[in-house]
Amino acid sequence: MTIRTFKAVLAGSAMLALGLSANAAQAATATANAKAQILKAITVTKTADLDFGTIVSGAAAANVTLTSAGALTCGAGLVCAGTPVVGAFGVTGTTAQVVNVSTTNASLTGPGAAMAATLSSSVSSLTLTGIAATDAFKVGGVLTVGANQVEGVYAGSFTVTVNYQ
């Protein structure tokens, strides 16, 4: 390598180094804020158990429907008596927040074949007000009673879930 070539390479390297450092001088910064909103933990309290009442079975399977508003319809061949009660729940959490409500179905077991209960809530969502009577919902459903269902007490459980939206 000649001295002239060496000087040219050295000069090129110096120019390249200056060019790279010029880009570093072009760096910019920005500032952003961070925040978090903390909500009260949701609590759900059962205020009444779901009770389809007293049912006399028939020769064919039929449904007993108890709406979340408390209206009872007894299927063909069945006799409904007693006092049915809708499931009732209260909710507490952060006021003005919207919550979603869901429920599972239930299987009522007893001395005979299990009976399926397809359940539904009176609301799918609600806005919390901090007023107990307003921050509540009810659960009803449809109970499928088998043909000649064996007499006895049948019971099961279900779960309601309430989550912030």
The predicted structure's pLDDT at residue 24: 60
Q: Is residue 138 part of a domain?
A: yes
- Please report whether residue 77 resides in a domain: yes
Confidence of residue 25 (pLDDT cuts 50, 70, 90): confident
In-domain check, residue 29: no
Over residues 70-128, the pLDDT tens digits come to: 999 999 999 999 999 999 999 999 999 999 999 999 999 999 999 999 999 999 999 99
4-13 tens-digit pLDDT? 544 544 455 5
Strand 72-74 to 87-92 pairing: unpaired
The overall average pLDDT reported for the chain is: 90
* pLDDT, position 9: 47
Does residue 122 form part of some domain?
Answer: yes
Give 156's pLDDT tier (boundaries 50, 70, 90).
very high
Q: Which domain, by its residues, includes 57?
A: 43-164
- Asked if the structure places residue 114 within a domain, the reply is yes
The number of domains in the chain is: 1
**Residue 11 forms part of a structural domain:** no
Residue 98: what pLDDT? 98
